[in-house]
């Protein structure tokens, strides 16, 4: 029995993307632990309180993070295709535009722009169609929430026309 010493360095290295995923899982678990520690202790007759489920979720995330680290060092993750950055930038840009515009332009216009950018990220080429369609859909959603359900969504110039 001889050990194979001719392994390439890529076979011995861990999967760095998987290690990043494990770190993100652990960070989310820590945030949950810190947030739950601020909740009041259980009161009354039941040992189950508002902190019970978040603690189990955090413990589950820690378990997944540990499992992901082991899988990264065993290189158990399948080979991934090269990530295209452009669609991700369109979607993130749409989210940022929506967060910035929602105070000034209202729900329908801001979310319609986000809809158009997300559609572009998923492959739609005609923003001049996607954005107006998104605005119309979002205006209907705003009317449903604000008019029918009496819930508050930010109003802009289009929403003010319907009020």
Written as one string, the DSSP assignment of 32-73 is HHHHHHTSPPP-TT-S--TTHHHHHHHHHHHHHHHHHHHHHH
Question: Is the model's pLDDT at 27 over the cut of 80?
Answer: yes
How many CB atoms neighbour CB 122 within 10 A?
Answer: 11
Average pLDDT over residues 130-151: 91
Which tokens sit at 50? 């508002």
pTM of the model: 0.58
Contact status, residue 120 vs residue 127, Cβ threshold 8 Å: yes
* Across 52-59, average pLDDT: 89
Question: How confident is the model over 56-101, as pLDDT tens digits?
Answer: 999 999 999 999 999 888 877 777 778 788 999 999 999 999 999 9
* Beta carbons of 138 and 115 less than 8 angstroms apart: yes
The pLDDT of residue 45 is 67
Higher pLDDT, 50 or 90: 90
Identify the CA nearest to 27 among candidates 3, 70, 2, 58: 58
pLDDT of residue 2: 47
């Amino acid at each position: 029995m001889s050990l194979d010493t001719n392994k390439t360095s890529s076979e011995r290295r861990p999967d760095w993307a998987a290690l990043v995923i494990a770190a993100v899982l652990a960070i989310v678990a820590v945030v949950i632990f810190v947030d739950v520690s601020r909740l009041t202790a259980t009161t009354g007759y039941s040992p189950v309180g508002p902190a019970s489920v978040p603690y189990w979720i955090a413990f589950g995330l820690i378990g997944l993070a540990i499992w992901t680290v082991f899988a990264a060092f065993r290189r158990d993750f399948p080979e991934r295709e090269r990530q295209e950055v452009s669609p991700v930038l369109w979607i993130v840009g749409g989210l940022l535009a929506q967060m910035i515009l929602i105070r000034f332009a209202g729900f329908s216009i801001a979310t319609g722009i986000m809809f158009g950018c997300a559609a572009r990220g998923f492959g739609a080429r005609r923003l001049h169609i996607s954005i107006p369609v998104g605005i119309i859909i979002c205006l209907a959603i705003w009317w449903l929430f604000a008019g029918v359900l009496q819930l508050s969504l930010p109003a802009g110039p289009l929403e003010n026309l319907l009020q």
